[in-house]
Structure 1
């Protein structure tokens, strides 16, 4: 993968502050859409500091931070939180504390758009639904206080039926290449038309997927027992399941998210250089499969 850049480079209009970017982020992905257990928003940095260079990434790993600091980024926007749980220390003796120190010493802020970015219009699951060519798309779950079209997951229809094998091939071709590839549960020749998707880990939504009448469900991090039970409970062998990379399912969102932020900032009279990280933060390096030498 290569880094991607929005069409809005630094120019004659002033750059935003970190606070200005946070207001734009709130406009696009309101914190009220975040799940109650989530940790979103500003993690490191002063709202008054400038944010002329902004980097989007899935994970706030040390490699991503290095990329940002080498580029001179003022702000990193990640999908995954650096600190999901409360901490008692940010000492640089552990990797999360060290990340905080590196960001502060490098003058780079960090903010998180997580489940609010999943549920919002144009969020992670909407991007997946668009990439797979779904129409008549609706959320799998509604978001309290959100719009009718906001919530976790999406379900919609393909323009024409296809086989599970061919659809899985489309999914594989669209997502970034990772070691784990794509796993499929179901009849390769079975017909599918109604498709449910959820970026990231989505095995908590099996009840909603079944209620939606989906023929196939695309999500990540599917574990043995939930999958086994879902297949045992299948009606007419459906829904089939397609298990993809957690990183890959959310990476697709970064480019449209960067473009959306650039447009909102431009509407408010600001200009920033916004890029998508070139770092593949999928944690797996290789996989062994039957038949390999």
Structure 2
């Protein structure tokens, strides 16, 4: 029998339990019929025009995204709104949309495990353990490199390991300082600067670092920082989720490589 949207949802719920999601989050099926058959699934970070275009051009029956489309309360999905237009396009094409957000952040393996693996960090424990979850469950990961390397070399390795973006990868710290212990958090992670400092790591890798929190963190003697774009930090999770879906059955799964960071230009670059 052909696999259904419901079959894929069951696999994703097993891998990323919804009870791990933060109370403010909006995860699960956004639109679509769980009983519909599915032969092609597109996995992406952001459910936006570029990824919906890709999914529908390819003929996908399901889009699995990390970020929710309708995170804040809405009172309608008319086509006079950007998000409403996406919902209507998906429904008209008989394509479903499913989102796994902070539940995928806290799950094991989850978003930060994928990021850590990509940049060569062996995971040891969570950065911010989940109150009710076992083992490594929680936001972020703490781990170590196979051997200590100068901070500047580590920043270069991170840049080479992740997909290219216009803003690129930034480092804040002594270029010559040897680093080995690493904290990572996919997505916006400056709310966990204190946890990274308390963990005593040499360097913290995350996205969307803001000027004042980052500067104050460094002034207090916190670990060196590696700043990523939000999309690049979470993109490694897409292949992890794709592998979960491939176990469901005879389903073709594509990981979108379309960069959905909002930044498209940089001074001094074409």
Superposition TM-score tier, normalisation by shorter sequence = over 0.9
Deviations 1:209-229 (A, max 9, x none): 111111100000000111111
Contact 1:140–1:151 under 8 Å retained in 2? yes
Contact 2:12–2:241 under 8 Å retained in 1? no
Q: CA deviation at 1:258?
A: 0.4
Contact 1:129–1:137 under 8 Å retained in 2? no
* Closer, same or farther: CA 105–85 of 1 in aligned 2, 3 Å: same
2:227 is matched with 243
The gaps in structure 1 that reach 5 residues or longer are 1-13
2:166 is matched with 179
* Mapped partners of 2:104, 2:214: distance in 1: 26
Contact 2:113–2:123 under 8 Å retained in 1? no
SS across alignment from 2:79: coil
SS across alignment from 2:225: strand
1:9 is matched with none
1:199 is matched with 186
Provide the aligned length of Structure 1 versus Structure 2.
270
List structure 1 runs of 4+ shifted beyond 3 angstroms: none
Is 1:256 the counterpart of 2:243? The answer is: no
* Mapped partners of 1:221, 1:15: distance in 2: 41
The gaps in structure 2 that reach 5 residues or longer are none
Matching residue within 262, 266, 270 for 1:283: 262
Moved more, 199-208 or 141-150: 141-150
TM-score scaled by structure 2? 0.96
Deviations 1:56-112 (A, max 9, x none): 011011111111111111100001111110101101001001111001001000010
CA-based RMSD of the aligned residues comes to 1.4
* Mapped partners of 2:123, 2:50: distance in 1: 39
Structure showing greater relative contact order (alpha-carbon pairs closer than 8 Å, 6 or more residues apart): 1
TM-score scaled by structure 1? 0.89
